Amino acid sequence: MFPVISSLFGAFLSYFRTQRELALENLALRHQIGVLKRTLGAKRVCLKPCDRKLWVVLS
Protein backbone atom coordinates (compact mmCIF):
# COMPACT_ATOMS: atom_id res chain seq x y z
CA MET A 1 0.00 0.00 0.00
CA PHE A 2 2.84 2.38 0.86
CA PRO A 3 4.48 2.16 -2.62
CA VAL A 4 1.19 3.10 -4.24
CA ILE A 5 0.72 6.13 -2.00
CA SER A 6 4.35 7.10 -2.51
CA SER A 7 3.99 6.87 -6.29
CA LEU A 8 0.83 8.96 -6.29
CA PHE A 9 2.45 11.59 -4.09
CA GLY A 10 5.49 11.69 -6.39
CA ALA A 11 3.26 12.12 -9.43
CA PHE A 12 1.41 14.94 -7.68
CA LEU A 13 4.65 16.73 -6.82
CA SER A 14 6.01 16.33 -10.35
CA TYR A 15 3.15 18.52 -11.56
CA PHE A 16 4.78 21.48 -9.79
CA ARG A 17 8.29 20.85 -11.09
CA THR A 18 9.86 23.00 -13.78
CA GLN A 19 10.55 21.74 -17.28
CA ARG A 20 14.29 21.88 -16.57
CA GLU A 21 14.01 19.64 -13.50
CA LEU A 22 11.89 17.12 -15.38
CA ALA A 23 14.31 17.10 -18.31
CA LEU A 24 17.27 16.48 -15.97
CA GLU A 25 15.42 13.68 -14.22
CA ASN A 26 14.58 12.15 -17.60
CA LEU A 27 18.23 12.38 -18.62
CA ALA A 28 19.31 10.66 -15.41
CA LEU A 29 16.79 7.84 -15.83
CA ARG A 30 17.76 7.28 -19.47
CA HIS A 31 21.41 7.15 -18.41
CA GLN A 32 20.62 4.53 -15.77
CA ILE A 33 18.86 2.40 -18.39
CA GLY A 34 21.87 2.73 -20.70
CA VAL A 35 24.30 1.65 -17.99
CA LEU A 36 22.12 -1.33 -17.07
CA LYS A 37 21.85 -2.41 -20.72
CA ARG A 38 25.61 -2.09 -21.12
CA THR A 39 26.30 -4.32 -18.10
CA LEU A 40 23.43 -6.75 -18.59
CA GLY A 41 25.53 -9.92 -18.31
CA ALA A 42 27.80 -8.73 -15.51
CA LYS A 43 27.23 -9.50 -11.85
CA ARG A 44 27.85 -5.88 -10.87
CA VAL A 45 27.00 -2.64 -12.58
CA CYS A 46 30.18 -1.26 -14.08
CA LEU A 47 30.34 2.53 -14.03
CA LYS A 48 32.82 4.28 -16.26
CA PRO A 49 34.45 7.60 -15.30
CA CYS A 50 32.13 9.48 -17.67
CA ASP A 51 29.14 7.93 -15.88
CA ARG A 52 30.42 9.17 -12.54
CA LYS A 53 31.05 12.65 -13.97
CA LEU A 54 27.46 12.84 -15.19
CA TRP A 55 26.14 12.06 -11.70
CA VAL A 56 28.46 14.66 -10.18
CA VAL A 57 27.13 17.29 -12.59
CA LEU A 58 23.52 16.30 -11.98
CA SER A 59 23.91 16.36 -8.22
Three-state secondary structure readout of the chain: CHHHHHHHHHHHHHCCCCHHHHHHHHHHHHHHHHHHHHCCCCCCCCCCHHHHHHHHHHC
Specify the pLDDT at position 49.
92
Give pTM, 2 decimals.
0.58
**Span 1-47, pLDDT tens digits:** 788 888 888 888 877 888 888 889 899 999 989 888 888 877 777 88
pLDDT at 30: 93
